[in-house]
Structure 1
Amino acid sequence: MRTVLCLILLLCCWKWGDWKNWQKYYPTILYMIVNQFLYIFFVDGRYFLWKMESENFLLNRTFSVLVAAFIIFPCIIILFLSYLPKSLIRQIGHLILWGFILCAIEGVMFLNEKITYHHGWNYWWSIAFNFLIVTMLRLHYYKPITAWLVSFVFTAFFVIYFNVPLPEH
């Protein structure tokens, strides 16, 4: 399933993404990758809130994380930011559209048991989180320092609310 998602996203990104200006999107792509790896570091394989399940011998958990970080997220970010409107009202509509797109992708993965939820996390939390993610991507694109500070606050909230034990190393 992630293989199909990767192929679809790569084709869409190649066809409709603003590749000639990829440098504009690069910092936001790195922001997303760093956040993904911080999540993996903090849960330390012990306390996942959500977990990408293995699909086959090629897409084990580790490789799935790498595929998401280096293919899925960059393609989504390039497509998302390539069409980010200038006016705030249209940006809100764009954020809502992309929030629904991410929820649909995750919904299909959840129904096919390619993502599982643990320790009180569920699809409803994922819906809220997907809308938070697109908002944070937009914020990072325009105000990176502010986005990092807000991300820290939200991370602290999730760690406290879901009793995520901090790594001991």
Structure 2
Amino acid sequence: MHLILAFLSIIAVWIRRDYREWEKYYSTMQYIAIGNLTYNFICASHWLWQLSPDIKWFNHSLLELAYTFITFPLTALMFLAHFPEDQGWMRVFRHYLLWIGLYIGVEILLLLKGNIIYKYGWSIYWSSLFDCVMFPFLRLHYKKPLFTLLISIPMIAFWIWFFQVPISVPIEKR
């Protein structure tokens, strides 16, 4: 399922010709990739959710790399490339609903197939709330990148605090 999602993202970007606008949205594509890398780094020993491979050789690390560098940036590209600019709040609202619903729907499928595991109080409900925040942040990052980076810091701090993710600094032994 995970590889299928990566391939579907590539095919959709190709068919919709969104790849022609990658430079315009590149920094926001990096923002979502860096966000996923940050989660994987901070939560390496206390993950709230973990993707479970559906193909043995495609281990957790390869899975995360595929999502970080293919699936998430390409879906961010598609979300932004077709954002209904100046078409009224209802179209904008439906656009958000479409993408949030798509992410939630895919996650429900992953959950039903056993390809995502939750821990430490995380659930599909928290993922849904996260998606409701993530997509507006993607749009905000495209419009105001520095502001979005600054407000992302307290958001990260909230998630770390709320889910009691241990943060420790390794001390070198000499």
For the residues of structure 1 that align with 2:74 and 2:143, how far apart are their CA atoms? 19
Equivalence for 2:65: 66
Structure with greater Cα Rg: 2
TM-score by length of 2: 0.92
State how 1:44-123 maps to structure 2 within 5 Å.
44=44, 46-87=45-86, 89=89, 90-123=91-124
- Per the TM alignment, residue 55 of structure 1 is displaced from its structure 2 partner at its CA by 2.1
- 1:110 touches 1:116 (CA, 8 Å); kept in 2? yes
Structure 2 counterpart of 1:135, one-letter code = P
- Per the TM alignment, residue 17 of structure 1 is displaced from its structure 2 partner at its CA by 4.0
Equivalence for 2:13: 13
C-alpha deviations, 1:62-113, integer Å up to 9, x for none? Answer: 0001000111012201111110011351322211211111101111111111
Structure 2 counterpart of 1:31, one-letter code = Y
Structure 1 runs of 4+ aligned residues shifted over 4 Å read: none
Identity value in percent: 30
Structure 1 alignment gaps of length 5 or more: none
> Which range moved further: 15-24 or 61-70?
15-24
> Which range moved further: 14-23 or 128-137?
14-23
Structure 2 alignment gaps of length 5 or more: none
SS of the residue corresponding to residue 114 of structure 2 reads coil
- Per the TM alignment, residue 167 of structure 1 is displaced from its structure 2 partner at its CA by 3.7
Equivalence for 1:26: 26
